[in-house]
Amino acid sequence: MPPAPRPLLAGLLAGVLLLPTFRPASVSAQVSTPAAPRTIAIDERLAAAAGLAVGDTVRLAATAGSPGDLVRIAAITRRGADPSEVARNEFKVRLHLDHLQSLTGSGDRVGRFAVRSRGAPSGDAAAPDRVAAAINQSAFGFRAYPASAVAVETSSTFRVVNRFHRAIGVITIVASAIFLLCITLLKVDERRRDVGALRLIGCARATVLRAIVLEATLVALIGSILGAALGWAASAIVNWYYQGVYQTPLRFTLVTPGIVGFAVALSLVLGVVSGILAGRRLVRTAPLELVGR
């Protein structure tokens, strides 16, 4: 049972549904003549799409048609593993704060501040909340949120997707349980005659049952090891593929020891249980009936 992929869909859906998500004005870039003092950093995807490289000079304007500034590309950035950006196609351009303020005519305004509290690095989990509360108490015209609250807010989409994947996982587990039980039953049933003959020559029920269960367990063990390898390979392919499609370092599927352990344990348990169920049915049948008379 390969673990279900856990792609992150917030951006996907936001973009797909074209919901009113208001974001800062987009910045458009046009290739132009050299010599400019200010520097910017651009997204590697923009660099690829527009054929830009570090050192190139471009004209940067806040709105289409306005003259803007000549700027030099000083860096090319790769976007972080931020799930909410996964499916967004916009190119991000980073510039110095004052440069953007003057370019967009925003004066001395900012969208938000990031604040690092003193307690945080030393592992004081409550520190950010304390700091946020203190700021909010004396705040004038803005609010402070601890990073954890923001994370909860932005991850609600992912919780939903997670639940969805978990539900699909449950269906998959039910399906594979039935599948395993079915196959074991069939395999054991194929042995009717052998088991009947063994019983006729005097093998004890327990011996026969043990042999059947041992075989089912071995099959489940080998199968789950193969399955784990297959799942790992599938996960690698999924990551490679979607990282290419969405151009993000985000990891879409994760094969952790816990997941492998769960899958192996589950299939072992299912294998043993179905072996016992199928075997018990068989050893309880009269041996004469088993050999076909």
Partner 1 sequence: MIARLAIAALTRRRARTALTVAGVAVAAAMLLDMVMLGSGMRESFRGFIDQQGFQLRLTPRGTMPFDSEATVGGATALVATLRADPDIVRVGPVLGGKHFVAVDTGVVAGFLLGIDPAAQGDYRLEAGHDLAAADEIVVSTAWLAATGRALGDTVRVAGGYDPQLRRATGERTLRIVGQGRFQMLAASDRAAAVPLATAQAMGGADRADRVSVLLVETRGAADAEAVAARIEASEARLTALSTEAALKFVDERLGYFRQLAFILASVSLAVGFLLVTTLVTVSVNERIGEIAVMRAIGVARARIVSQIVLEGVALSLAGATLGLGLGLVTARWLNGILATFPGLPAAFDFFRFEPGAAFRALGLLVCCGIAAGVWPAWRAATLPIATTLREEAVA
Residues contributing to the site for partner 1 (CB under 8 A)? 5, 7, 9, 12-26, 28, 63-65, 87, 140-142, 156-157, 160, 163-164, 167-168, 171-172, 174-175, 178-179, 181-183, 185-186, 189-190, 192-193, 242, 245, 281, 292
What is the nearest approach in angstroms of partner 1 to the Cβ of residue 186?
A: 5
| Distance in angstroms (rounded) separating the CA atoms of residues 224 and 260 | 9
Residue with tokens 């995807």: 45
Q: What is the DSSP letter of 122?
A: G
Closest to partner 1 by CB, 98 vs 190, is 190
What is the nearest approach in angstroms of partner 1 to the Cβ of residue 21?
A: 7
For residue 12, the Cα-to-chain-centroid distance in whole angstroms is: 13
What is the nearest approach in angstroms of partner 1 to the Cβ of residue 128?
A: 22
Closest to partner 1 by CB, 125 vs 236, is 236
How far are the Cα atoms of 46, 110, 194 from residue 145, in angstroms, in the given order? 32, 16, 71
What is the nearest approach in angstroms of partner 1 to the Cβ of residue 228?
A: 17
Closest to partner 1 by CB, 13 vs 54, is 13
What is the nearest approach in angstroms of partner 1 to the Cβ of residue 209?
A: 17
Which among 88, 91, 92 is positioned nearest to 17, based on CA atoms? 88
Closest to partner 1 by CB, 31 vs 174, is 174
Regarding beta strands 39-43 and 69-77, do their DSSP bridges make them parallel or antiparallel, or are they unpaired? parallel
Which among 215, 145, 153 is positioned nearest to 183, based on CA atoms? 215
Cβ-defined contacts of 103-107 (< 8 Å, 24+): 103/27, 103/60, 103/61, 103/62, 103/68, 103/69, 104/25, 104/62, 105/62
Closest to partner 1 by CB, 200 vs 204, is 200
| Distance in angstroms (rounded) separating the CA atoms of residues 213 and 176 | 18
| Distance in angstroms (rounded) separating the CA atoms of residues 56 and 12 | 32
What is the nearest approach in angstroms of partner 1 to the Cβ of residue 120?
A: 26
Closest to partner 1 by CB, 160 vs 204, is 160
H-helix or E-strand containing 277? Answer: helix 257-284
What is the nearest approach in angstroms of partner 1 to the Cβ of residue 44?
A: 19
Closest to partner 1 by CB, 73 vs 86, is 86
